[in-house]
Structure 1
Amino acid sequence: MSIKQRDKNHIWHPLTQHKLHPETMAITKAKDCMLYDEDGNEYIDAIASWYSSMYGHCNDFVTSRVYKQMQQLDHVVFAGFTHEPAVKLSEELIKILPENQEKIFFGDNGSTSVEIGIKMALQYHFNKGNKRNTLIAFQESFHGDTFGAMSVSGLSVYNGPFEDLFLDVKRIPTPNGNNHEQILETLKEIVKNNAVAGFIYEPLVQGAAAMKMHDPKGLDQILKFCKENNIVTVADEVMTGFGKTGSNFASDFMETKPDVICMSKALTAGLVPMSITACTQKIYDAFYSDDIGKGLFHCHTYSANPIACAAALAGLELLQSTQIQKKISSITAKHKAFGEHIKNHKKVKSIRQQGIIFALDLNVEMERYGDLRYKLFNFFMANGVFLRPLGETIYIQAPYTITNAQLDKIYTVIENALEIV
């Protein structure tokens, strides 16, 4: 019996309505930018398996570092203990984070990094004796699937059954270069009528909102307003972090830096789960007290797992290498050229790009998980390219190790797909 047949016996997959879409694909091997299924077919992973395997699958440099760590220390609790991989990772990460970041808190996935960031924002004010319970977030935002992360997310397709149980969240539009004055007026009204603790945002690119991109100058104005009103700013860089936007972090493009930064996905080179929530000294100091109740009582069993830290350290070394930096520039240029080539196609409504993130909107209305979306997905897979359209948006976020020939194949398959729309 095949793997995919056995799968049906017991497994409940994420983001899947099994009655409508009962079939899965069994992947048996991954290497560099390629996935291989149990039938011997191969596919270019054009989205780095949800933006995580940015240095290619089973990267020899990363796996060798992890193997070495596995021989010395596999795991130890992180409450009251520490170890070299965690300490070294904190030192190396602080070097490339925005200059105001000072403290590192370990978690285990993107959603929980956001949970921790939300807790930091809310408890910061609570510890100061100034209880605030309202959060601000962008429209169409997505921050994860745990309850706090769902609360600040704005995609009801994921959150509908739970919305009556959420935290108090007020939403604002993303800045488009022309509307930041109106957004600031809206913010003034929100602050006037609510006790606002924090603003959480995906800087520059909203991933689950079909790679919707916004204006850095407008975002900077929002962040400055928040600073002036003692609103804790939480940058969700789970998707955007580690080079994808053309800098180490999307927050690098704004003058005003966040108080808190959430990280996961590419943090560990896509090898093992881990997250980090970084913060400023100011945030940390609000929890530093003789009162034990003012501590941040949040912990995961696998916090700062040494193996995950080793993977992250290897990933950071690769990110800062000349080879990867050249590849980021090369991919960015290739995407720009493809955008110029395809933007006037009659089936293309618009294109956009930020660093190695490229998105194309089809000139057709379609449901996020509708029949046309699955028709496109199946077309891509049949032609050896793994892409997951988000509604009418086709996007690319391939590993940094992708070759020019592989990129050209992705572009060709996308262009050919326009004929079936």
Structure 2
Amino acid sequence: MNWLSKDRNCIWHPFTPQKDMDDPIFIERGEGVWLIDEKGNRYLDAISSWWVNLHGHAHPYIAKALFQQASKLEHIIFAGFTHAPAIRLAEALLSILPKRLSRVFYSDNGSTSTEVAMKMAIQYWWNKEGRESNGRKKLLAFRNSYHGDTFGAMSVSDRSVFTLAFHDLLFEVVFIDTPEEGNIESLEAIIDREGDGIAAFIYEPLVQGAGGIRMYEAKWLERLIRKARSKSIICIADEVMTGFGRTGKLFASEYMEEQPDIICLSKGLTGGVMPLGVTACADFIYQAYVTDDRLKTFFHGHSFTANPLACTAALASLELLKEEAAIQGIRRITESNIRFLTRLQAMATNNEAPIKNPRALGTILAFEISSGKDEYLNKVSPVVTRMAMEKGIYIRPLGNTVYLMPPYCISDRELALLEECICEILMKF
């Protein structure tokens, strides 16, 4: 029995319709931006394996750091114990995060990092106002957002195919559109009206990821954060996808002066090597839990909280991120995206290809193929993936939204290869 037959017999793959699904590609190893199957076929990983890989696959520096740590301490309960990788990582993150943030809480993935943030914010008000209070319990979030697959994260995510089966189980959320010149005043009016009952405002800064890589301007988000803060609403930046250089800056929040009270991190945190989540908060939130009342403890944790191996991978990734190679890589992809964006805009204007709304920010580029509805279930996605794989490129459109988000080690030659592959595919539609 071969590997694929074994896979078919025992594995349930995520986000994949199970009936008549294509055989998954058996990947034997990774090398830089390339994924290599058991037959030696190579596929350029143009989406960083779900946006997590920053420095390329099987990076020797991270692998060596993991080996050394595994030989010393692989894991320990984090209630009542601590260890050097967790302390060093917290210090390293706080040195580069917005100065407003002063404490790090560890979890194990992006969804749980947002779950922790929401619980922190809601319990902050519970701790401050008393257990019998009916005050601030609602959350404010954007339509078209996606914050994860756990129940709290689903609640503040857009009501979509991701959440459809669970709508009657999700808690109350005030949803608003992403801000722009034409609606900012009406959004501010909603915050004025609802603000006294809102505990926190959670947002994906500048780029909404799984909702279709939708982008919006920093100046309008900043104005909205300022309005929320005027009503004492806790502001939560979900930078699970946008963190660690994806938007051209280390964090998307750096495009604004108004900084979050809580930030959520995962995906690129470990360079795509180990699962790890971080929720960092401002001191005023932490102080609401520093009390003699033990019922005001933050009762949240995971068996693998602050896993030493994951923290070590994150430290190694941060060290690589500060090196010139990564800095130049981010700049190289950003400049390539600007050139490619111009080409895509011309193709759309001249009707050379059935595309619309080409856009880019930092290392992220996206556009829609004008075929069917703009939605996740658009059947163009597997078609584009299959066509690209035949050319040695791995992309996985979000419905009819094609996007690129490669690792920072991608070369100019590989970027050119990726661009030509996309254009050749578009010409076939």
AA partner of residue 370 (structure 2)? N
Q: Deviations over 1:253-289 (max 9, x none)?
A: 1111111000001101111101100000011001111
Q: Is the 8 A contact 2:358 2:366 kept in 1?
A: yes
Q: Identity of counterpart residues, as a percentage?
A: 41
- 1:179-208 Cα offsets, whole Å, 9 max, x none, are 21221122223336xx11111000000001
2:40 is matched with 40
**Are 2:392 and 1:384 aligned?**
yes
SS at structure 1 position matched to 2:427: helix
Task: Tell me, yes or no, if structure 1 residue 178 matches structure 2 residue 221.
Answer: no
1: CA distance between counterparts of 2:426 and 2:111? 34
Of 338, 341, 348, 2:340 maps to 338
Moved over 6 A (4+): none
Equivalent position of 2:419 in the other structure: 411
Equivalent in 353, 357, 365 of residue 358 of structure 1: 365
Alignment of 1:7-406 (within 5 A): 7-129=7-129, 131-191=135-195, 195-345=197-347, 346=351, 347-366=354-373, 367-406=375-414
> How far does the alpha carbon of each residue in 1:147-191 deviate from its partner, in whole angstroms, 9 at most, with x for none?
000000104101011111111101000013432122112222333
What displacement does 1:362 show? 2.0
User: For the Cα contact (< 8 Å) 2:371–2:380, is it kept in 1?
Assistant: no
Contact 2:340 2:419 in 1 (8 A): yes
1:37 counterpart letter in structure 2: D
In terms of mean alpha carbon deviation, does 115-124 or 171-180 score higher?
171-180
Give me the whole-angstrom Cα distance separating, in 2, the residues matched to 1:326 and 1:371: 37
The 1-side partners of 2:180 and 2:389 are apart by 34
TM-score, normalised relative to structure 1? 0.97
The secondary structure found in structure 2 opposite 1:158 is coil
1:262 partner SS: strand
Q: TM-score, normalised on structure 2?
A: 0.95
Contact kept, 8 Å, 2:195 with 2:233, in 1: the verdict is no
Q: Which amino acid aligns with 1:383?
A: K
Give the secondary structure class of the aligned counterpart of 2:69.
helix
> What 5-or-longer segments of structure 2 have no aligned partner?
none
Q: Which secondary structure does the structure 2 equivalent of 1:341 belong to?
A: helix
Cα RMSD (Å) of the superposition? Answer: 1.2
1:149 counterpart letter in structure 2: A
Q: What's the CA shift string for 1:41-100, capped at 9, x where partnerless? A: 110000000111111111111111111111111111100110111111111110100111
Take 2:175 and 2:230, find their aligned partners in 1: how far apart are those partners? 19
- 1:120 CA drift (Å): 0.7
Query: Could you say what secondary structure the match of 1:67 adopts?
Result: helix
Gaps of 5+ in 1: none
Q: CA separation in 1, counterparts of 2:424 and 2:331?
A: 26
Contact 2:159-2:167 at 8 Å conserved across structures: no
Instruction: Decide whether the 8 Å contact of 1:350 with 1:362 is kept in 2.
Output: no
Moved more, 159-168 or 22-31: 22-31
Deviations, residues 339-389 of structure 1 (Å, cap 9, x unaligned): 111212122212111110111222333452333221111001111111011
- Specify the code of the residue in structure 2 equivalent to 1:229: K
Task: For 2:251 and 2:294, locate their aligned partners in 1 and report how far apart those are by CA, in whole Å.
Answer: 34
- Give the residue type in structure 1 aligned to 2:239: E
Q: 129-138 or 199-208: which moved more?
A: 129-138
Q: Judge conservation of contact 1:177–1:215 (CA < 8 Å) in 2.
A: no
Contact 2:89 2:311 in 1 (8 A): yes
**1:285 is aligned with what amino acid?**
Q
Give CA deviations for 1:192-249 in whole Å, capped at 9, x if unaligned: 6xx1111100000000111100111110111111111111111100000001111111
**Number of residue pairs aligned between Structure 1 and Structure 2:** 419
Q: Partners in 1 of 2:199 and 2:305 — Cα distance?
A: 26
- Tell me, in whole angstroms, the C-alpha distance in 1 between the residues paired with 2:244 and 2:114: 17
Aligned-partner Cα distance in 2 for 1:157–1:20: 20
Q: 1:249 to 1:417 in 2, by over 3 A?
A: same
* TM-aligned CA deviation for residue 22 of structure 1: 4.6
CA contact (8 A) 2:356 2:369 kept: yes
C-alpha distance in structure 2 between counterparts of 1:355 and 1:214, whole Å: 13
One-letter code of the match for 2:362? G
Tell me if structure 2 keeps the 8 A contact 1:197–1:232: yes
Query: Counterpart of 1:420 in 2: which secondary structure?
Result: coil
Task: After superposing the two structures, state which structure 1 stretch, 11-20 or 136-145, moved more.
Answer: 11-20
